[in-house]
Structure 1
């Protein structure tokens, strides 16, 4: 049986897991769906009495029979690259057909997924993940989603300290004319800084929690790996992704209620893997969950890189649930 890894060509995180699986003698096939249809083709059939599609994926380096796949590691596949000679409307149609056909076929595989793309997509919806976390007993900061500037100002003004964190609701950020997206980092905002431009789309404002540090909790099956993240610059204290070089890490133990809440959260969202970010209040040590990343990075914490790699390999190999 073969572990299918779906990711782009340059993905150091997948490289770690693939190397571990190779060392264990587990067959691995790495494919990038973005290679379809130029360098990747397929054919699959189903008929009366069949409970699954039968067929073959034909890549640049090897072929893979669908029936061989025992687990799928869905990491960071790139977007479909359609033929450059197509017109704009034809390109959009062909890309939609690729999603429905090629991605749809992969999504139908009845095997162990880490994670299934439909579960990732569901968990990435912030209103869903925050409400689910709260139902699972985890503390979430006071949060408002709105396109009403007056309501946003009123909410922020009433918060302790009169300050909120403004965050993007979805992955990525605004897109430039050439199609490149730039990151939208977390920012601090006060009521008087909120303009009527808020009315143009949905915005998320979240209670600003003065923190002692952050904690990245990485869940692999039923195993939880946690590390304190201590910011060494003003920028990193607002959003640690802006200055990784200033960060220091320290593996830590989770409070019992956070451990229980994390297990309930993964069960509720039907995830086998997630990376969740917590703010630990400097006032009372209270843990606030602020983000659920169903496909988040984990290799940046040196002390946890090897154990998380091994845990993911165990999960894909079927050694744990």
Structure 2
């Protein structure tokens, strides 16, 4: 029985888990669904007599028997690479058929998923994640989502510090002149900086939390791996992603109330894995700001090995 890893060609995070499974002698098949249909051939069958899909995926170097998959590590598959002759509506149709066809057959595999893409998608919708977190007893910053500039200004003016954090709702930023998306970092905004361009789409504004430090909490099958993140640069104080070189990390315990809320939150979404971001103020209150159902974890040196082992345990089926 094989662990199936679904990810693109360059994924250092997946590499860590694959190396651990290889060291244990656990069969692993790394596959990028983006190779379909260019260099990946899929054949799958189902019938009234057999209620699960049976078939093979034939790649350039290896084949995969769908019936031999024990677990799936769903990381970061590439977009489908279609035939170069396809463009416009034809390409859109072909990509949609690939997503439902190959993607659907893979999603129907009855095994351990880390995590199933359907569950990732639900937890990755920020308004849903924040509302669910509050119902699970977790604390979040005051948050406004609006396309009304006047409402945004009024919201910020009423905050204790009269400063808000603007954060993009999605993971993909707008495209630049070369067509490639660029990152949208968290920014501090005041009411007088809000322009009428807010009416062009939905925008998220959150109460600015003066933080003592940030927390990255990684959860694997209920196990909690937390680390304080201290940043020295001004830019990283606003958004830690802007300057990883300025960080120091300190593994820490998780308050019992946060542990309980996080377990309920992940249980609600059916997640076996998630990386969560908290801002901790001077009074020690943990404010949840992000739920990343497929977030990174390898950047914290002290937690890299234990998280890798926990993920491998889950995929291998070790109690």
State the 1:318 CA deviation: 1.2
Provide the secondary structure at the position in 2 that maps to 1:265: helix
Alignment of 1:238-277 (within 5 A): 238-277=238-277
Question: Is 1:5 the counterpart of 2:5 in the alignment?
Answer: yes
Provide the secondary structure at the position in 2 that maps to 1:250: strand
Q: Quote the residue 1:309 is aligned against.
A: 308
Question: Is 1:77 the counterpart of 2:50 in the alignment?
Answer: no
1 CA distance for matches of 2:99 and 2:177? 24
Q: Quote the residue 1:107 is aligned against.
A: 107
Question: Is 1:297 the counterpart of 2:293 in the alignment?
Answer: no
Provide the secondary structure at the position in 2 that maps to 1:160: coil
Q: Quote the residue 2:187 is aligned against.
A: 187
Question: Is 1:97 the counterpart of 2:84 in the alignment?
Answer: no
State the 1:178 CA deviation: 3.6
Q: Quote the residue 1:287 is aligned against.
A: 286
Q: Which runs of 5+ in 1 are unaligned?
A: none
State the 1:267 CA deviation: 0.2
1 CA distance for matches of 2:176 and 2:101? 29
- After the TM superposition, which segments of 4 or more aligned residues of structure 1 sit over 4 Å from their partners? none
1 CA distance for matches of 2:87 and 2:31? 27
2 CA distance for matches of 1:179 and 1:298? 29
State the 1:222 CA deviation: 1.1
State the 1:243 CA deviation: 0.3
TM-score by length of 1: 0.98
Q: Quote the residue 1:67 is aligned against.
A: 67
Q: Which runs of 5+ in 2 are unaligned?
A: none
Number of equivalent positions: 319
Question: Is 1:20 the counterpart of 2:20 in the alignment?
Answer: yes
2 CA distance for matches of 1:48 and 1:269? 31
**Alpha-carbon deviations, 1:104-123, whole Å to 9, x = none?**
11011111000000100111
Provide the secondary structure at the position in 2 that maps to 1:258: helix
2 CA distance for matches of 1:200 and 1:91? 28
1 CA distance for matches of 2:128 and 2:254? 24
**Alpha-carbon deviations, 1:105-149, whole Å to 9, x = none?**
101111100000010011110011001111111101000011111
Q: Report the aligned-residue RMSD.
A: 0.8
Q: Quote the residue 1:118 is aligned against.
A: 118
Provide the secondary structure at the position in 2 that maps to 1:8: coil
Of stretches 85-94 and 104-113 in structure 1, the one that deviates more from structure 2 is 85-94
Q: Quote the residue 1:198 is aligned against.
A: 198
State the 1:49 CA deviation: 2.3
Provide the secondary structure at the position in 1 that maps to 2:100: helix
State the 1:177 CA deviation: 4.6
Q: Quote the residue 2:228 is aligned against.
A: 228
Q: Quote the residue 1:31 is aligned against.
A: 31
